[in-house]
A = this chain, B = another copy of it.
Amino acid sequence: MDTTDPTEPTDPLVAEAVPVRHRRGGGRSGNARRGGAAIKQTPWTDVINVDRPTEPIPPEGVEAIHDGAMRILEEIGIEFLNAEAVEVLREKGCTVDGENVRMGRDFVMEMVRKAPSQFTLTPRNPDRTITIGGRHIVFGNISSPPNCSDIDRGRRSGTHEDYRNLIKLTQYFNCIHFAGGYPVEPIDIHPSVRHLDCLYDKLTLTDKAAHAYSLGTERVEDVMEMVRIAGGLSHEEFDATPRMYTNINSTSPLKHDWPMLDGAMRLAKRGQPTIVTPFTLAGAMAPVTMVGAVTQSIAEALACIVLLQCIRPGVACGIGTFTSNVDMKTGAPAFGTPDYVRATQITGQMARYYGLPLRSSNTCAANAPDNQATWESMMSMWAAITSGTNMVYHAAGWLEGGLCASYEKFVMDCEVLQQFIAYMQPYTTNDEDIALDAIREVGPGGHFFGVQHTQDRYETAFYSPFLSDWSNFENWQDRGSVQTVERANKVWKQILAEYEAPPMEDAIREELSDFVARRKQEGGAPTDF
């Protein structure tokens, strides 16, 4: 187990780069300070998407996709590579042929309707409770890339230290609402015990809602137990309401694999939510038509949601979309494309049709945190906003179609996330807003800097970025012509230097440590599935 003081920057680069004040005491009482001065950021807030979603297809189109998805489930069937899942569905009257399961639309709709349209996730710090569904929108960190990069050290495989650094950024930014999958795979920890170290870090270095990978029985059970311990909960309290979640992917086309189903069913039995996200690249694992890819994706997602509702009626579920296109010249996946935006919006229409929360992602295909990365991410973020997405996965840090977590892009994405949070503040049009008296007072040719109407409001009137440089060219040049990515580089170093872990009772921390130590002694989880 990692015994480093989580409040102490251990990355040599970080320790070197940042002038540290009075390190005598070390740890929390030393250089770290809650709400440090690295940046002035947006407060933690419940974000309500006030905009009407963009709907690319008419109601008849929604019915056509629904009908297509139902015919897939009725006529073609989905393969469930999990005997327990097949047995559950057989008992409910589905038509089973080996691993292939077909189900009628009346049954599908009856089961889907049992899932709530909105639910909460309550982590160990109840102040960090988030709502998934309705008009709520929440953002999570990048999840699961094997590599990470920063502009000093370039791209490399992820390590435990990188994992911890990115988890600290996840905790630091108020615009990140949940701690998704591992922000980078720490390949220097053996897979049999990786989940134990990673969850220990995640549950001690953050107090935000956590995710469990559905990659084998032991892992899922360990994570549920650790989340329960971290929350100081009895088993009954844990089971009573969603405390964590998993995200599973189908193996498109039309297949759900054993470990994903096993994990989702285990969570469902304990009342914990599953997001089902088919990975339907149009032209590869799904039809080349985006509408066909969405149709297939809906069938795959609903098939698993039906299963989970059979296991525990009313358990929280969400539809995830990962429908994008490939580059048809090379077969390479593309993200943040116009086609991706439309697929996300159409999936949003379908999610609302079924009354289920929607998950999408802040994706891009770029290999560097450059302009392409930013325009692809902006397309993905606007896809999330305009589709009515409730849960934005990979909202900060993602590069290379998910193969790399960039420290600088994490920071740049958080700047943009803050902008979307500001964008969601509703506008009023009362007399004070219309400001006729101020306009009269200033009159033609005057200016508004000095008037009382301005003085009363200027400090909070507009969104204030932490990363944008709004100075004029000459001032910007005088300060060294520092480009955005270099500014982001400075910011993450300062955040890591100032990082302070959220409080946790000693007894709980000890119980968590003991659990990790015991499970490591037992050998952790099998790695041969």
Query: Which residues on A are within 8 Å of B, measured CB to CB?
Result: 50-52, 54-57, 60-61, 64-65, 67-68, 71-72, 75-79, 100, 147, 155, 251, 253-255, 282-292, 295-296, 325-334, 337-339, 341-342, 346, 365-376, 378-379, 382, 386, 400, 403-404, 412, 415-416, 419-420, 422-423, 425-430, 432-436, 438-440, 442-449, 453-454, 457-459, 461-465, 467-473, 476-477, 481, 483-485, 488
Cβ contacts under 8 Å, A77 to chain B: 444
Cβ contacts under 8 Å, A296 to chain B: 435, 439
Contact in complex: B454, A283 (CB < 8 Å): yes
Bound-state CA distance A17–B357 (Å) is 53
**Given A288-B448, A291-B427; 8 other pairs, CB 8 A cutoff:** A52-B55, A289-B461, A291-B434, A341-B423, A371-B484, A372-B484, A375-B416, A379-B419
Contact in complex: B291, A429 (CB < 8 Å): yes
A288-B461, A484-B370 known; A54 vs B51 contact (CB < 8 Å): yes
Q: Which residue of B lies closest to A488 (CB)?
A: B371
24 contacts between A and B (CB under 8 A): A52-B54, A52-B55, A56-B426, A76-B443, A253-B445, A254-B444, A254-B445, A283-B449, A288-B435, A289-B461, A292-B433, A295-B439, A296-B435, A330-B470, A338-B420, A342-B427, A367-B469, A367-B471, A367-B473, A367-B476, A371-B484, A372-B467, A374-B375, A403-B472
Bound-state CA distance A386–B54 (Å) is 9
Contact in complex: B483, A368 (CB < 8 Å): yes
Cβ contacts under 8 Å, A285 to chain B: 447-448
Contact in complex: A429, B370 (CB < 8 Å): no
CB distance from A62 to the nearest CB of B (A): 8
Q: Which of B72, B332, B462, B481 contacts A283 (CB 8 A)?
A: B462
Q: Which residue of B lies closest to A459 (CB)?
A: B328
A429-B65, A435-B289, A484-B371 known; A282 vs B461 contact (CB < 8 Å): yes
Contact in complex: B331, A449 (CB < 8 Å): yes
Bound-state CA distance A420–B336 (Å) is 12
CB distance from A388 to the nearest CB of B (A): 12
CB distance from A109 to the nearest CB of B (A): 18
CB distance from A39 to the nearest CB of B (A): 15
Contact in complex: B289, A433 (CB < 8 Å): yes
A370-B483, A472-B400 known; A444 vs B330 contact (CB < 8 Å): no
